[in-house]
Structure 1
Amino acid sequence: MIRKLLIRDLTLRDGQQSAFATRMSQEQIDRVLPFYRKAGFYAMEVWGGAVPDSVMRYLGEDPWERLEKIKAAVGNASKLAALSRGRNLFGYDPYPDKIIKGFCRNSIESGLDIMRIFDALNDVENIKSTVKYVKRFGGIADCAVCYTIDPHHSAVERIKAALHGHALHKPVFTNEYFLDKALQMEALGADMITIKDMSGLLPPERSAEIVRLFKKHLKVPVDFHTHCTPGYGLASVLAAIVNGVDIVDTNIWYFAGGTAAPAVELVYVFCKKMGIELDINMEVITKINAHLLDIRKELSSFDMAKQLPKPFNPLTDKIPTEVDRFFNDAIEAARKDKEDDLLIFCHAIEEYFGFPEPNELVKKAQIPGGMYTNMIAQLKQLGQLDLLEKAMSLIPQVRMDAGLPPLVTPTSQIIAAQAVSCAQDLLNGRPLYSHPSNQFIALVKGEYGKTPVPVDPEFRLMITGSRDEVPYDPSDYEMQENPVIEEIGVQLAENEKEVLLLELFPMMAHHFLAKKKQKRAHTTFPPV
């Protein structure tokens, strides 16, 4: 029986967000949509993440219209997917069930098929409501387990801890930890489980282990999602495929590699060699890619890599014999769990095609690339870039003090900002945590949910003024004000979708909706 592998294309959401700061306009997306209808992808991730905020903020476009236009163009040819942060939805704060319910219903009515739901703490309680409402309104609940690693402690830190009688914590993020989360999600009603490696820090040997474990114990399909930033991406995807994963996330050639996911074209070559069937139309995907090259050039000012891969069409371009051998050797290494060899061959393939080299700084720091670049931007703004090394060295301590949260939005940004603040404390001779941010206080208090490791009550007292954990209380939630725009006599948010935008993105949606209404009024009633 021929094995099939499903492909989720990330190009129009995670791809452009990772590589081009989420700046693709509707006009640019419209150019490729007719081809996507015939491409044969199992799913297309097109919404969620940073898209709803960014299209309002930078492009002056309506997020709901983007989803609806994509659905109108693609129809049911591929399932449309979005990324949601569980109880935080697309924002950074927790929301009550009434907001989550309305958001899920409107998303599905606007054309969404799959909601990928994750929680930044891997707290399964925080995804319950979204799973319930996505399924109630006819959507597919894709529950994601966020991959993360335990802090790396140097030899010096271990010696210091031993001398002071402090035992360093035992590993928390074991393979069994991830399986336990996946089993809880399956019991909750997940229709599929995604291994979400948002930082690209999952090496191929462990990718193989986790996929084997999930396939052995889960009854629902398993999806694998990663990034190429530190250099593991392509090798880890191949390891996942060899070990029986059901779905992999990829980008199309000119939007792939570097900070983004691996290229579907390389996965195509691997699968063809292994006799694995992909129900995708590579001829059509090549046409999409030609448009993406033009779009990438148009987005050059936002291009993270500034490095175009060589043109490649797997249907017509002959791969040199020595490079073709790398593909065969990589497959063999993946089958034998020879991680070092697998990485060498995959890096050689990526080097031949001109994809960015692994980011050694991110690999060494063991943090997401976005977290690293945000820390640099924050310190540049403060004029204190020389504090970067110290701030980076404080991340393990800050993370441990806060209950060892996984490093994914929004916890990655909360930990990064607090590490910078602590570095400033040391520079100025102040005690650590002299200036905890509001988000850090909320995290330590318990408002974001249960942390993987309990927060020390004495530390919580120091940060929040109380030893007791205080979880998020939805009864305290207050809806955003929805005023009338007096000069044109209409309400700022005139329907439920606009109200939801106002709830999730108060400042940005206020500005966007006011501008939208004013533009409509002036178009309807031009000035005399």
Structure 2
Amino acid sequence: MAQKLLIRDLTLRDGQQSSFATRMTQQQIDRVLPYYKDANFYAMEVWGGAVPDSVMRYLNENPWERLEKIKAAVGEASKLTALSRGRNLFGYAPYTDEIIDGFCRNSIQSGLGIMRIFDALNDVNNVKSTIKYVKQYGGIADCAVCYTIDPKYPKLSFFDKLKGKKNPAPVFTNEYFLDKAKQMAALGADMITIKDMSGLIQPSRIAELIPLFKQHLSIPIDFHTHCTPGYGLGAVLMAIVKGVDVVDTNIWNFAGGTGAPAIELIYIFCNKLGVTLDVNMEAVAKINKELHAIRKELEAVDATKQFPNPFNPLTDTLPADIDKEFDKAIEAARNNDETALLNACHAIEAYFNFPKPNELVKKAEVPGGMYSNMVAQLKQLNSMDILEKAMELIPTVRLAAGLPPLVTPTSQIVGAQAVNCALDLKAGKPMYSNVSNQFVNLVKGEYGKTPVPVNPEFRLKIAGTREEIPYDTSKYQMQPNPTLPEAGDVKLAENEKEVLLLELFPQVAKSFLTKQKEARYQALHKEEENKQAAKEEVKEEPITGKIVEAPMPGNIFKIQVQPGDTVTKGQSVIILEAMKMENSITSDYAGKVKRIFVKEGVSVQAGAKLVEIEV
């Protein structure tokens, strides 16, 4: 029987998130949905990841409505799929089963067909509840094994070897990944995804993993990767040759670079391989034409600003030399010749003007998003001079924290901590003088079991305990749901879906829902608008006390003191969210809080006044 390949299209979620900062509006989404209905993709990834946060934060749109509108337009033509982080769902906190239950139920009622579930530590215990509830409400549980590689440790000197010192043995072996997949299958996973969020999996490695998974698992295998360091197209072709069931792709104008390979290139490979691909490429071409216009509209957030050359595999003829490169790539994949395979794929991508491999990410062997976050953090701190040192510290920090896979959120936690450690050294302080709350929680054990145990002495230093302390959802407290006087005394969250938004995205949803309720109220009471706009201008008192300043740019997440409170030296007074990390800002002074200069939710720059302390 001829091999059949299913396609999960990522364009409307991972595609736009990887390359366009998740800024597609509902109006832009609506323009392509009629064609998607005809495209016959097995699945369309449209939700989860950064979509719910971004549509509220930047577009003032309701995430539930986005999912429901896509379902209404596409119907049963393709399964709608979303990405969630197991027990953490979209955030950094472990949620109770009650919240996971409500989230899965509402997602499936709103049109979701497949939930791709992963855990940043590959801790299978963290995906149990989501599998249970997704299946309970009629969804497909797609469990993802997060692919990662062992760090490149510093080379040992002659004297190190003489003393018997050794670098750690490899952890992320083929057997490690297979074991995780088998555990998930035993829990009821309907399919398994090899999730290579960094694009670091080489064709030779996927050539080993696909047959291994197919031999030991009886459920479909999906392969997800990115093109950032240049392995993506070759790795996907190798996976197809080795018999993978599903691959993840983007449509042409959203493909390549930081995104996944283009469906159009996979279509050519499948035709040459005799692999059945039940995708309506005429509909895909119509989507792609609209995506070209949409990409122009997204120019301000375009990660590469490099359009691929126009191409439609149904109507355009390949030049003989490029057609030959497709044949070379297939022959190389069949012969397990990785070098020839990558050379042919790079020649194909260069011809079509897809971005070149990111050599820095390839060499550093860290996710592109992790690297760009570190660069952004250092630019904000005017400390780009320590980038090399921060990159050098990643293996050390990662190993100390239990060797977590580099996937959101652990990649950001490790990257931000490597930057903090480099800043500590630059300032002449010991490493880990400044640690984020998330790093503390990771080391403590609140995110789950790390691939290797954390040294108890290191845990004591960072988290104040030698013993691992797992999360305890019995202490979970629901977010406040106040009444809004300025919006007609309605509740901030008026139904279960809004309550879930508030739980999953506390700051962003609070701001979004408040604006929504106020706008609705004002539309009904226009004559009441701005009655209190002109308020008495209060002259600012002169500063007589000591000032606690923001050490870095960020958002005020939580104010922990009030005017009149007595504080001790070293006491945390503000939680500052910077680069998605929560940082405790402590007072260098003992005294009484005179005044607070900021409000929760506002953005501040480095050096901004936060709190005045009378000493």
Which residue matches 1:81? 81
Which residue matches 2:340? 341
Which residue matches 2:318? 319
- State the shift of 1:162 in Å: 2.9
Segment of structure 1 superposing worse, 428-437 or 5-14: 428-437
User: Secondary structure of 1:261's partner?
Assistant: coil
- State the shift of 1:90 in Å: 1.3
Cα pair 1:252 1:265 within 8 Å, conserved: yes
Which residue matches 1:271? 270
CA displacement 1:208-254 (0-9 Å, x = unmatched)? 11011101111000000000000000000000000000000000000
Q: Which has the higher contact order (CA 8 A, sep 6+)?
A: 1
Which residue matches 1:442? 441
- State the shift of 1:431 in Å: 1.2
How many Å separate the matches in 2 of 1:15 and 1:409?
16
Which residue matches 2:2? 2
Q: Aligned pair 1:204/2:221, yes or no? A: no
Query: What is the correspondence of 1:141-180 to structure 2 with a 5 Å cutoff?
Result: 141-155=141-155, 157=156, 159=158, 161-162=160-161, 165-180=164-179
- Return the TM-score normalized by structure 2: 0.85
The letter for the 2-side match of 1:314 is: P
User: Secondary structure of 2:7's partner?
Assistant: strand
Segment of structure 1 superposing worse, 403-412 or 428-437: 428-437
CA displacement 1:14-33 (0-9 Å, x = unmatched)? 00000000000000000000
Q: Aligned pair 1:104/2:100, yes or no? A: no
Q: Aligned pair 1:130/2:130, yes or no? A: yes
Q: Aligned pair 1:36/2:57, yes or no? A: no
- State the shift of 1:515 in Å: 0.4
Q: Aligned pair 1:420/2:419, yes or no? A: yes
Which structure dedicates a bigger proportion of its chain to strand?
Answer: 2
Query: What is the correspondence of 1:202-281 to structure 2 with a 5 Å cutoff?
Result: 202-281=201-280
Q: Aligned pair 1:383/2:382, yes or no? A: yes
When residues 138 and 159 of structure 1 are mapped into structure 2, their CA distance, relative to the original with a 3 A threshold, is: farther
Which structure dedicates a bigger proportion of its chain to helix?
Answer: 1
- State the shift of 1:43 in Å: 0.1
How many Å separate the matches in 1 of 2:161 and 2:463?
29
When residues 165 and 43 of structure 1 are mapped into structure 2, their CA distance, relative to the original with a 3 A threshold, is: same
Unaligned runs of 5+ in 1: none
When residues 158 and 302 of structure 1 are mapped into structure 2, their CA distance, relative to the original with a 3 A threshold, is: farther
The letter for the 2-side match of 1:377 is: A
How many Å separate the matches in 2 of 1:30 and 1:163?
66
Q: Aligned pair 1:20/2:20, yes or no? A: yes
How many Å separate the matches in 2 of 1:430 and 1:56?
40
How many Å separate the matches in 2 of 1:393 and 1:302?
29
- State the shift of 1:432 in Å: 1.1
How many Å separate the matches in 1 of 2:517 and 2:163?
63
- State the shift of 1:322 in Å: 0.5
How many Å separate the matches in 1 of 2:346 and 2:166?
38
Which residue matches 2:410? 411
CA displacement 1:137-194 (0-9 Å, x = unmatched)? 0000000000000001243x46564355432110000001000000000001000000
CA displacement 1:309-330 (0-9 Å, x = unmatched)? 0000000100000100000110
How many Å separate the matches in 2 of 1:333 and 1:45?
31
How many Å separate the matches in 2 of 1:161 and 1:388?
27
When residues 333 and 474 of structure 1 are mapped into structure 2, their CA distance, relative to the original with a 3 A threshold, is: same
Cα pair 1:161 1:168 within 8 Å, conserved: no
The letter for the 1-side match of 2:89 is: L
How many Å separate the matches in 2 of 1:245 and 1:296?
31
Q: Aligned pair 1:61/2:75, yes or no? A: no
When residues 160 and 89 of structure 1 are mapped into structure 2, their CA distance, relative to the original with a 3 A threshold, is: farther
The letter for the 2-side match of 1:508 is: V
Q: Aligned pair 1:352/2:389, yes or no? A: no
CA displacement 1:492-517 (0-9 Å, x = unmatched)? 00000000000011011000000001
Cα pair 1:158 1:168 within 8 Å, conserved: no
CA displacement 1:45-92 (0-9 Å, x = unmatched)? 000000000000000000000000000000010000000000110112
Q: Aligned pair 1:301/2:300, yes or no? A: yes
How many Å separate the matches in 1 of 2:372 and 2:53?
19
The letter for the 2-side match of 1:200 is: G
- State the shift of 1:521 in Å: 1.4
- Return the TM-score normalized by structure 1: 0.99
CA displacement 1:406-443 (0-9 Å, x = unmatched)? 00000000000100011011112211111121100000
When residues 161 and 58 of structure 1 are mapped into structure 2, their CA distance, relative to the original with a 3 A threshold, is: farther
The letter for the 1-side match of 2:126 is: N
User: Secondary structure of 1:527's partner?
Assistant: helix
How many Å separate the matches in 2 of 1:451 and 1:160?
31
- State the shift of 1:352 in Å: 0.4
The letter for the 2-side match of 1:127 is: V
The letter for the 1-side match of 2:203 is: P
How many Å separate the matches in 1 of 2:138 and 2:165?
51
The letter for the 2-side match of 1:35 is: Y
CA displacement 1:343-392 (0-9 Å, x = unmatched)? 00000000000000000000000000000000000000000001100000
Query: What is the correspondence of 1:468-479 to structure 2 with a 5 Å cutoff?
Result: 468-479=467-478
User: Secondary structure of 2:260's partner?
Assistant: coil
How many Å separate the matches in 2 of 1:399 and 1:8?
32
Which residue matches 1:190? 189
Cα pair 1:4 1:278 within 8 Å, conserved: yes
Cα pair 1:142 1:190 within 8 Å, conserved: yes
How many Å separate the matches in 2 of 1:121 and 1:436?
20
How many Å separate the matches in 1 of 2:163 and 2:495?
61
CA RMSD of aligned residues (A): 0.9
When residues 397 and 523 of structure 1 are mapped into structure 2, their CA distance, relative to the original with a 3 A threshold, is: same
How many Å separate the matches in 2 of 1:295 and 1:262?
19
How many Å separate the matches in 1 of 2:158 and 2:66?
55
How many Å separate the matches in 2 of 1:304 and 1:164?
48
How many Å separate the matches in 2 of 1:289 and 1:313?
9
- State the shift of 1:519 in Å: 1.1
How many Å separate the matches in 1 of 2:303 and 2:224?
20
Query: What is the correspondence of 1:497-516 to structure 2 with a 5 Å cutoff?
Result: 497-516=497-516
User: Secondary structure of 2:527's partner?
Assistant: coil
How many Å separate the matches in 2 of 1:165 and 1:341?
40
CA displacement 1:76-133 (0-9 Å, x = unmatched)? 1000000000011011211111110100000000000000000000000000000000
User: Secondary structure of 1:47's partner?
Assistant: strand
The letter for the 2-side match of 1:526 is: K
Which residue matches 1:369? 368
The letter for the 2-side match of 1:464 is: A
When residues 166 and 527 of structure 1 are mapped into structure 2, their CA distance, relative to the original with a 3 A threshold, is: farther
How many Å separate the matches in 2 of 1:154 and 1:453?
19
Segment of structure 1 superposing worse, 60-69 or 483-492: 483-492
Which residue matches 1:285? 284
When residues 211 and 161 of structure 1 are mapped into structure 2, their CA distance, relative to the original with a 3 A threshold, is: farther
The letter for the 1-side match of 2:228 is: T
When residues 164 and 486 of structure 1 are mapped into structure 2, their CA distance, relative to the original with a 3 A threshold, is: farther
Cα pair 1:191 1:221 within 8 Å, conserved: yes
Flag the structure with larger Rg.
2
Which residue matches 1:47? 47
The letter for the 1-side match of 2:457 is: E
